[in-house]
Structure 1
Amino acid sequence: MSVPRTLQLPPGVTKSFELGGLHGDVAMLSAKAIGPSKGKVLLIPGWTGSKEDFLPLLPLLAAAGYDATAYDQAGQYESDPGDDYTLESYARGALRLAQMDSSRTHLLGHSFGGLVAQQAALIDPPQVRSLSLLCSGPGALGDSPTRPLRRVVDAIGKVPLLQIHQLREQGIKRPAQITAFLAKRFTANDPRSLRAMTQLLIDAPDVVDAVRATGVPTWVGRGTDDDAWPHDVQEMMAKRLGTEIAVVPDSAHSPAVENPEALMQAWLPFLEAH
Structure 2
Amino acid sequence: MPTIKVGDLDIYYEIHGEENRVPLVLIMGLTGDIMGWMFQIPEFSKKYRVIAFDNRDAGRTTKTDVSYTIETCAQDTYNLLVSLGIEKAHILGASMGGMIAQTFAIMHPEMVRSLILACTIPRASKGLSPLTLWKELVKVEPRELFLKDMLVRTFTPETLENMEFVNASLKWYLEYPYPQPPEAFIRQCNAIEKFDVTTRLKEIVAPTLVIVGERDTLTPVWYSEEIVSRIPNSQLKIIPGCAHALFLEKPREFNRAVLDFLEKH
TM range, normalised to the smaller chain?
A: 0.7 to 0.9
Name the CA distance, whole Å, in 1 between partners of 2:177 and 2:67: 20
**CA RMSD, Structure 1 to Structure 2 (Å):** 2.7
Residue 148 (str. 1) matches residue 138 (str. 2): no
Structure 2 residue 117 is the aligned partner of structure 1 residue 133: yes
2:17 paired residue number = 32
Deviation at 1:31, TM superposition (A): 1.7
**Which residue number in structure 1 is paired with residue 103 of structure 2?**
119
C-alpha contact 1:48 1:186 (8 A) present in aligned 2? no
Letter in 2 for 1:166: L
Distance 1:212 1:198, change over 3 A: same
Equivalent position amino acid for 1:106 in 2: H
**In 2, distance between residues paired with 1:262 and 1:121?**
25
SS in 1 for 2:2: strand
Corresponding residue number in structure 2 for 1:52:
35
Once the 2 structures are TM-superposed, how far is the Cα of residue 258 of structure 1 from its aligned partner?
A: 1.9
Q: What is residue 211 of structure 1 aligned with on the other side?
A: 201
| Pair 1:95-2:78 in alignment | yes
Find the counterpart in structure 1 of residue 25 from structure 2. 42
Q: Counterpart of 1:74?
A: 56
- State the distance in 2 between where 1:136 and 1:213 align: 18
1:186, distance to aligned residue in structure 2 (A): 10
* Residues 250 and 70 of structure 1: CA distance in aligned 2, closer, same or farther (over 3 Å): farther
Is the CA contact 1:143–1:202 (under 8 Å) kept in the aligned structure 2?
Answer: no
Question: Which segments of 5 or more consecutive residues in structure 1 lack a partner in the other structure?
Answer: 1-15
Counterpart of 1:182? 173
2:68 aligned residue (77, 82, 85)? 85
Cα distance between partner residues in 1 of 2:29 and 2:236: 19
Amino acid of the structure 2 residue aligned with 1:225: R
Alpha carbons of structure 1 residues 221 and 54: separation in structure 2 relative to 1, 3 Å:
same
Aligned with 2:262: secondary structure?
A: helix
In 2: Cα distance, 1:141 partner to 1:28 partner: 31
Q: Residues 185, 199 of structure 1: CA spacing in aligned structure 2 closer, same or farther, 3 A cutoff?
A: farther
Q: Percent identity?
A: 22
Tell me if the contact between 2:208 and 2:235 (Cα under 8 Å) persists in the aligned partners: no
- After the TM superposition, list the runs of 4 or more consecutive aligned residues in structure 1 that deviate by more than 6 angstroms: none
What secondary structure, in the 3-state scheme, does the structure 2 residue paired with 1:244 have?
A: strand
CA-to-partner distance for each residue in 1:189-247, whole Å, 9 max, x for gaps? 24443112212333421x14423324122210012222212212211211221323101
Q: Per the alignment, do residues 22 and 226 of structure 1 end up closer, same or farther by CA in structure 2, a change over 3 Å counting? A: farther
Q: Trace 1:209-248 onto structure 2 (pairs within 5 A).
A: 209-242=199-232, 243-248=234-239
Matching residue's letter, 2:92: L
1:198 counterpart (178, 185, 189) = 189
TM-score (norm 2): 0.82
Distance 1:22 1:31, change over 3 A: same
Q: Secondary structure at the match of 2:45?
A: helix
How far 1:55 moved relative to its partner? 1.1
Q: Does structure 2 conserve the Cα–Cα contact (< 8 Å) formed by 1:77 and 1:189?
A: yes
Summarize the Cα distance change of 1:87–1:225 in structure 2 as closer, same or farther, 3 Å threshold: same
Displacement of 1:69 in angstroms is 2.2
State the shift of 1:85 in Å. Answer: 2.3
Amino acid at match of 1:131: L
Distance 1:151 1:251, change over 3 A: closer
Count of residue pairs brought into register by the alignment? 250
After TM superposition, give the deviation of residue 108 of structure 1 in Å. Answer: 0.9
- More displaced, 245-254 or 45-54? 245-254
Q: Which amino acid in the other structure matches residue 79 of structure 1?
A: T
Between 39-48 and 210-219, report the one with greater CA deviation.
210-219
